[in-house]
Structure 1
Amino acid sequence: MPPPGVCLNIVEARHKQDGQGSISNPSFLFGQDYLQLKEFCITKRVKFIDNMFPPDMRSIGQGLLSPSHLAHVVWLRPAKIVQNPSFVVREFSRFDFCQGILGNCWFLASIGALTFHDKILMQVVPVKQGFEENYCGLFHFRFWRFGKWVDVVIDDKLPTINGRPIFVQSKKQNEFWPSLLEKAYAKVCGSYADMNAGTLAEAMVDFTGGVHMCIQLSNPPSDLWESMSRAGRFGALMGCSTPKGESPSLSLCPNGLVQGHAYTVTGVIQVMSRGKPVKIVRLWNPWGKGEWNGDWSDQSSIWKTVSPQDREKCLSVAEDGEFWMTLEDLCEFYTELDLCGLNPDFLDEDSSGLWRSSIAEGRWVAGTTAGGCMNNRETFWTNPQFRIKVWKEISTRTAAKNMLVSLMQKPDKRNRRLVQNFHIGFTVFEVKEKDQPHKGKFPASFFSAQKPAAQTKTFINAREVMEFLTLMPGEYVIVPSTFNPNETSSFILTINCRTETLC
């Protein structure tokens, strides 16, 4: 029997920590076992060639390169590019690389955040692989993909033109971990072209398998600074995005920011300027260049108003894509802030170890379990339903939020660009004792007579939607749904609940 309060048909995530698909026991993408493949290559004295992601045009994908450029692409192993290739030189750093011709700033900005957290980085990038002993042209990386960790093997043949990699660029010509990590994720997505355009949240969750929260900076919460500071202390990944411009292509604004672009949050600090505290945020552009030129930028005279110690600690005038700005400017010029941690501890002050995660997988099937949103009164009740109990009222010390609910669509296509995301959301209803059904689902009459206790603010066309909720003691039913009825898709419902509420 599940422990009291666990959602009906939902298992606690910690029960699956060591099972197939856990970080310690990942699944093999396409059944390719890294250790077996490496032993075979060493025994046979051959270098690995990955037939599941072959070094040819199929892996580059459609529409990314012009025919004239494709004609000049040559796939080379690192030893054919430089004389003494290294997997990593000294240590992993955001300054190791810059974005190539591929529109995957969302992925590279997430890697920039990843380099601050060795524990998470080592999960994604296994150690003890390189170009030295037992090298056989084989590498592997790990990503969390829709409920499970997968180990992804690749060969080290990289697409080049004139002897240089055409996608992510390493600033040290003999360092190849960025190019190989990018190739592994391209394999997961289906091709390099399938990595064009995306969101920080997608890559951050795939790097951590953890808890993600998105904050709309156009209407920031009053505790935004506290949330960012706490996320930094708990080792959460942070990034933010600028609004899209009128042009479909990226354009540089007069203030130095790029429209429709992802940035890594690399620092959060308060300094004294002219006798007053100022909250400033450090950001990094994955282009490896191109910086904000307003207040607190590298050349700003405002730096003369802070102490020499703060100036020495914070200010760098290198053209490396990294810069500072105030929290107010962050909210004015960026649209979203994404926070993602291994666990929910960063969600609340003094809450380390006080959260529990539960997860369920489900599916909407046209004609049976895809009833659409509440606008469809006759069919809404046919959607999957999940029940939870909140046993104890949260204390006033812990603010108002006691539950983070996430709904993620699970694709059924290999190529990321072919995935059709529906507009999704979820609705939460309180269940009174008189409402208890004899068996099975709550009927249409239950939902017709009820007002939602909580719900997503809007149904959006995204891989994942989430809401940070307050639920008082009682029993509830959560109904995930697409906006329109009869849309077939799989989903993952994750509930992160404060243990003091015993939900």
Structure 2
Amino acid sequence: MPLHGVCKNIMSARQKEHGYGTSQNPDRFQQQDYLQLKRFLLTQNKLFRDETFPPDQRSIGQGKLEPAELAQVQWLRPRDILMSNPFFILDGVSRFDFGQGQVGNCWFLASLGALTFHKEIFKLIVPLDQTCVGKDYCGLFHFRFWRFGKWVDVVIDDKLPTIKRKPIFARSKDEREFWPALLEKAYAKVCGSYADMTSGTPAEAMRDFTGGVHMCIQLSDPSPDLWKLLCRAGRSRTFMSCSTIPKTETTSGDRLPNGLVPGHAYTVTGLKQLQSQETEVNLVRLWNPWGHGEWNGDWSDKSPLWRSVSTKDREKCLTVENDGEFWMSLEDCCRYYTNIEICGMRPDFLDEEPACHWKTSMYENRWVAGTTAGGYINHKETFWTNPQYRIKVCGKTDSSQTRNTLVSLMQKSDKRNRRLAQLFFIGFIIFEVSEKDEKRAGKFPASFFSSHRPVAQTRKLMKSREVTEFLTLKPGEYVIVPCTNEPNQTASFLLTIFSREETRCYENSGHNLNNPVEKAKKEKNCQDVEKKMLLFRQYSDKYEEVDAELLQQLLKGDLISGSFSIDACRSMVALMDESGDGKLDSQEFGYLWHKVMKYKRVFAKMDVSQTGTLSLTELRNALRDSGMSISDELLNLMVVRHGASSGHMTLENFISLSLRLSRMNKIFTELSDGRNVTLSRSEWLFLSMYT
């Protein structure tokens, strides 16, 4: 049975606290443990078959192969493809080891080409102690990827889709080598299928290979220091790629007259500054993941410009082969490519000071329709409901021109299959917090944002997996608001803040309950007390107690608005029942009645629209007015559990959830040591089954 959603979230948070999900201690993708599986298979002398990514049409996906081709597909292990001893890795790894197959994933293979330059990162992604033959072989392989804030270990079997014994997708130039095809299969499993790898940007895979810093440089208006930045990136452990201008109506064929492929991803494999006669020329070396097809303009393999450089430079740089790799000038690169993507394990390449150490803060959260999906800043009434993050920049900034903070916002779809993921236009806005607002607890309201101007923001909202901005923030306190373009767009996101200076960051939604445990106050009005007791005696049994059914009749007769379900009344009795007999005596009823009347007054006060229900904004205000400040995550959960399908909250549901929130917090306070609660299994079951 799958884990309960809330339980899964709690376990994930705890695992992260204890170091799970790091590159050295990755999480298990789909709960598959490589070492346990391997021990079992070797003991049983069996070959692995992965039922979570089965060797059939479901794993190929839709739209990649014609029905006639699908009928010919055979899933074969390397030893059955080759009919002799296959190799996992043969004579090291190189970008020239492989070529693209029948899935449009040049973006992934361009990143794979970049990966081959970084041996330490390659060993992290591709554990080298794996083999296609021998006593340790059991048809089981594993690879590691960074996925939305954590590293995962992905297990696969080695059955590959083939037609006429030839792999359909990524294939090695040397048919005896299989690491490219197996790595591609593991990534296809993460995406949902091979077809789900169609179309993308190299930045997506580069990020999943490093888990580090991503920067996209638009080449339509390049910075004067572009070459310096590229050289710093080249010296660091970074991946670089670029993409050509997409195909237009006037473009015919797969290639342009200059040899480039429109809308195609290329790997940056080298940078070189040469002396051409008396002029310095900045050259970029690029590689086509097809493994063939090259640029034929200036500085291409057969360009006469190579005769203008020294023999030494020419022999060192130039290789005349149709291997997909070529040189071109930085100016031509900016002319024919749309952007350069840079991704590194650390943000070292951003800084000209090699001794600089960047600090990282990472937060996972969700935009949820009706509660925390407030849209862009032009939606003045709802923008403030977006998640908010406070950041305090300490230290000294050398000048107003020094960029000291990089903010990354990545959206994560809830869909299992990548092709079904709906990407929204996303971005973030940063506001400075003045001294008088620094002590404010909880979210800043709409009035704060209407009276403050942003000090930084994404240049434009983008419909992409990730947006980043490199910013200058002077010492002080700020609030960062990640948002979608429109309200009520539900998605998960990951916010990462890299800082040169010492910073303190935290979520601003109000994780702690502010004095939520309230003691029943003595009613000063004797008439109110007498009315309450008269009502209680009217409905109580001969023992002067009310059970859930009697309570339902009582509430229905007095609250006017609708009625409480019998389950809601049972829950109320359980929450207030101190004797555990399933009934409320006059004192317990008095405490319940006091709370019910209080929440009824709060409901009426906060129902400014006078619809008889609370919108999600009104709900948050109502809880705050009741003395309870809650996090966005808890608010989202409460709406799912207690709200109507419209996203609004009725009086009955508001009273039920407020009682539960207040009571459960009191139980925690009574049982905890100040931080945690420890329960035996029987205690846990006793508590959870009767609250």
Q: TM-score, normalised by structure 2?
A: 0.69
Residue 4 of structure 1 corresponds to none
Counterpart of 1:450 in 2: which secondary structure? Answer: coil
Give the distance between the partners of 1:122 and 1:405, measured in 2 at CA. 29
Contact 2:356 2:500 in 1 (8 A): no
Counterpart of 1:453 in 2: which secondary structure? Answer: strand
Give the distance between the partners of 2:305 and 2:354, measured in 1 at CA. 37
* Residue deviations 1:244-295 (CA, integer Å, cap 9, x gap): 1126997210000000000000001100001211000000000000000000
Contact 2:411 2:492 in 1 (8 A): yes
Residue 58 of structure 2 corresponds to 58
How far 1:460 sits from its partner (Å)?
1.0
Share of identical aligned residues, percent?
63
- 5 Å-filtered alignment, 1:87-166, equals 87-133=88-134, 134-166=136-168
Give the distance between the partners of 1:249 and 1:191, measured in 2 at CA. 30
Match of 1:278 among 271, 278, 281: 281
* Residue deviations 1:155-186 (CA, integer Å, cap 9, x gap): 11100011100101210010000000000000
How far 1:64 sits from its partner (Å)?
0.8
Residue 394 of structure 1 corresponds to 397
Residue 305 of structure 1 corresponds to 308
How far 1:500 sits from its partner (Å)?
6.2
Give the distance between the partners of 1:255 and 1:163, measured in 2 at CA. 36
Give the distance between the partners of 2:324 and 2:64, measured in 1 at CA. 25
Contact 1:18 1:24 in 2 (8 A): no
Match of 1:328 among 328, 331, 338: 331
Residue 3 of structure 1 corresponds to none
Over alpha carbons, which structure has the higher Rg? Answer: 2
Contact 1:103 1:195 in 2 (8 A): yes
Considering Cα pairs closer than 8 Å and 6+ residues apart, tell me whether 1 or 2 has the greater RCO.
1
Residue 39 of structure 1 corresponds to 39
Q: Which amino acid aligns with 1:51?
A: E
Give the distance between the partners of 1:475 and 1:459, measured in 2 at CA. 24
Match of 1:478 among 461, 480, 485: 480
Give the distance between the partners of 2:204 and 2:305, measured in 1 at CA. 36
Q: Which amino acid aligns with 2:22?
A: S
Give the distance between the partners of 1:465 and 1:249, measured in 2 at CA. 32
Give the distance between the partners of 1:30 and 1:211, measured in 2 at CA. 26
Give the distance between the partners of 1:352 and 1:186, measured in 2 at CA. 39
Q: Which amino acid aligns with 2:91?
A: R
Q: Which amino acid aligns with 1:467?
A: E
Contact 1:390 1:472 in 2 (8 A): yes
Counterpart of 1:103 in 2: which secondary structure? Answer: coil
RMSD, aligned α-carbons:
1.7
Counterpart of 2:321 in 1: which secondary structure? Answer: coil
Q: Which moved more, 1:350-359 or 1:334-343?
A: 350-359
- 5 Å-filtered alignment, 1:101-500, equals 101-133=102-134, 134-246=136-248, 251-396=254-399, 400-436=402-438, 438-499=440-501
Counterpart of 2:301 in 1: which secondary structure? Answer: coil
Counterpart of 1:241 in 2: which secondary structure? Answer: strand
Q: Which 4+ residue blocks in structure 1 deviate beyond 6 angstroms?
A: 500-503
Contact 1:393 1:501 in 2 (8 A): no
Give the distance between the partners of 2:247 and 2:429, measured in 1 at CA. 33
Residue 653 of structure 2 corresponds to none
More strand per residue: 1 or 2?
Answer: 1
Q: Which structure 1 residue ranges, 5 or more long, are not aligned? A: 1-12
Q: Which amino acid aligns with 1:347?
A: L
More helix per residue: 1 or 2?
Answer: 2
Contact 2:27 2:153 in 1 (8 A): yes
Counterpart of 2:75 in 1: which secondary structure? Answer: strand
Q: Which moved more, 1:493-502 or 1:188-197?
A: 493-502
How far 1:353 sits from its partner (Å)?
4.4
Give the distance between the partners of 2:504 and 2:310, measured in 1 at CA. 48
Contact 1:201 1:212 in 2 (8 A): yes
Q: Which moved more, 1:125-134 or 1:157-166?
A: 125-134
Give the distance between the partners of 1:382 and 1:154, measured in 2 at CA. 42
Counterpart of 1:280 in 2: which secondary structure? Answer: strand
Give the distance between the partners of 1:352 and 1:422, measured in 2 at CA. 38
Give the distance between the partners of 1:399 and 1:477, measured in 2 at CA. 21
Contact 2:271 2:284 in 1 (8 A): yes
2:29 paired with 1:26: no
Q: Which structure 2 residue ranges, 5 or more long, are not aligned? A: 1-12, 506-691
Residue 679 of structure 2 corresponds to none
Residue 84 of structure 1 corresponds to 85
Contact 1:144 1:209 in 2 (8 A): yes
How far 1:351 sits from its partner (Å)?
3.8
1:216–1:195 distance in 2 versus 1, CA, 3 Å: same
Contact 1:298 1:324 in 2 (8 A): yes
1:497–1:251 distance in 2 versus 1, CA, 3 Å: same
Give the distance between the partners of 2:487 and 2:396, measured in 1 at CA. 36
How far 1:235 sits from its partner (Å)?
1.6
How far 1:436 sits from its partner (Å)?
3.4
Counterpart of 1:130 in 2: which secondary structure? Answer: coil
Contact 2:438 2:477 in 1 (8 A): no
Counterpart of 2:387 in 1: which secondary structure? Answer: coil
Contact 1:18 1:25 in 2 (8 A): no
Residue 73 of structure 1 corresponds to 73
Contact 1:250 1:258 in 2 (8 A): no
Contact 2:393 2:501 in 1 (8 A): no
Counterpart of 1:318 in 2: which secondary structure? Answer: coil
How far 1:392 sits from its partner (Å)?
2.5
How far 1:352 sits from its partner (Å)?
4.1
Q: Which moved more, 1:149-158 or 1:344-353?
A: 344-353
* Residue deviations 1:318-362 (CA, integer Å, cap 9, x gap): 110000000000000000100000011111112444211110111
Give the distance between the partners of 1:130 and 1:350, measured in 2 at CA. 43
Counterpart of 1:466 in 2: which secondary structure? Answer: strand
Give the distance between the partners of 1:331 and 1:29, measured in 2 at CA. 39
Give the distance between the partners of 2:451 and 2:252, measured in 1 at CA. 49
Give the distance between the partners of 1:164 and 1:278, measured in 2 at CA. 44
1:355–1:161 distance in 2 versus 1, CA, 3 Å: same
Contact 2:268 2:286 in 1 (8 A): yes
Q: Which amino acid aligns with 1:363?
A: R
* Residue deviations 1:178-214 (CA, integer Å, cap 9, x gap): 0000000000000000000011111000001111010
How far 1:18 sits from its partner (Å)?
6.8
Contact 1:288 1:320 in 2 (8 A): yes
Counterpart of 1:373 in 2: which secondary structure? Answer: coil
Q: TM-score, normalised by structure 1?
A: 0.95
Counterpart of 2:38 in 1: which secondary structure? Answer: helix
| Residue-pair matches, total | 489
* Residue deviations 1:10-36 (CA, integer Å, cap 9, x gap): xxx9x9697111111111111111111
Counterpart of 2:448 in 1: which secondary structure? Answer: helix
Give the distance between the partners of 2:73 and 2:103, measured in 1 at CA. 15
Give the distance between the partners of 1:300 and 1:335, measured in 2 at CA. 24
Give the distance between the partners of 1:266 and 1:19, measured in 2 at CA. 34
Give the distance between the partners of 1:485 and 1:250, measured in 2 at CA. 42
Give the distance between the partners of 1:502 and 1:443, measured in 2 at CA. 22
How far 1:473 sits from its partner (Å)?
1.4
How far 1:368 sits from its partner (Å)?
1.0
Q: Which amino acid aligns with 1:286?
A: P
Q: Which moved more, 1:321-330 or 1:432-441?
A: 432-441
